[in-house]
Structure 1
């Protein structure tokens, strides 16, 4: 996955009880609120998944909201993001095994589907724990297995604020590790 450091702008709302004349508590309150806001956003189509805020570049003068008494501060900050791209080789962990394929997780991406049609020479075996087995290479994919795969397609899901991906094992050195 590609890690990017992007400069972003936004508004941070600080409650009146976090305001202090010395400024130190105010800066701390702005940083804490910014971290909460980024965690709630999770991801965007443009930047990918938000990983960490690395720097608070500037804080503009705050405006008091008359109804609540909260203060809104326009801020500029740097943030590390992680954005998946088509054709990338990634590592994932098998989360769920179904007859028609496997669902994987890789980092913050929780919805990766590997269809049985994209697994060369693997056959579904229904047992206590369902799995895909390749007799020729003596390998298997079951819950908890680590798998190296190639990204076949990506789709942004606005309602979930995340990406859905399709995977394939077609290529060299791909499959269970």
Structure 2
């Protein structure tokens, strides 16, 4: 996954009870609200997953909302993001094993599907627990197994504010670790 540092602009809303005539506490309130806002956004199609706010570049003069008394501060800040790319080799953990494939989790992405059609030589097997087994290399993919995979496709899901990915094991050195 590609880590990017992007400069962003936005508005931070500070309620009146968090306002203080001393600038230091006001700046702290703005930073805390900014962190909450970024955490609730989760991700965007353009930038990927928001990981951390690195710097607060500028805080412009606030405007008071007449009805609520909240103060809106336009801010500029830098943020580290993580965006998956097609063709990347990544590692993930098996979350669910189904007859038609497995679902993986990798970092903040928790919706990665590896179809049984994209797993060379692996067959579905249910002995004690569901898993995919390779008889030649005597390896298996069961729940909580680590798997190295290649990103086959990526799709942005607006309703979930996240990415869905398709994975494959076609390639050298891919599969259970």
Q: TM-score, normalised by structure 1?
A: 0.99
1:41 and 1:34 mapped to 2: Cα distance? 11
Greater Cα offset, 94-103 or 125-134: 125-134
Residue 62 of structure 1 is matched in structure 2 by: 62
2:128 and 2:35 mapped to 1: Cα distance? 43
1:170 pairs with 2:170: yes
1:79 pairs with 2:76: no
1:126 Cα offset (Å): 1.5
2:65 and 2:81 mapped to 1: Cα distance? 31
Count of aligned residue pairs for this structure pair:
177
Give secondary structure in 2 for the equivalent of 1:61.
coil
Summarize deviations over 1:83-108 as a string: whole Å, max 9, x none: 00000000000000000000000000
Summarize deviations over 1:33-80 as a string: whole Å, max 9, x none: 000000000000000000000000000000000000000000000000
Q: Unaligned 5+ residue runs, structure 2?
A: none
1:149 Cα offset (Å): 0.1
**Where in structure 1 do 4 or more consecutive aligned residues deviate above 6 Å?**
none
Q: Unaligned 5+ residue runs, structure 1?
A: none
**What are the residue-to-residue correspondences of 1:2-151 with 2, within 5 Å?**
2-151=2-151
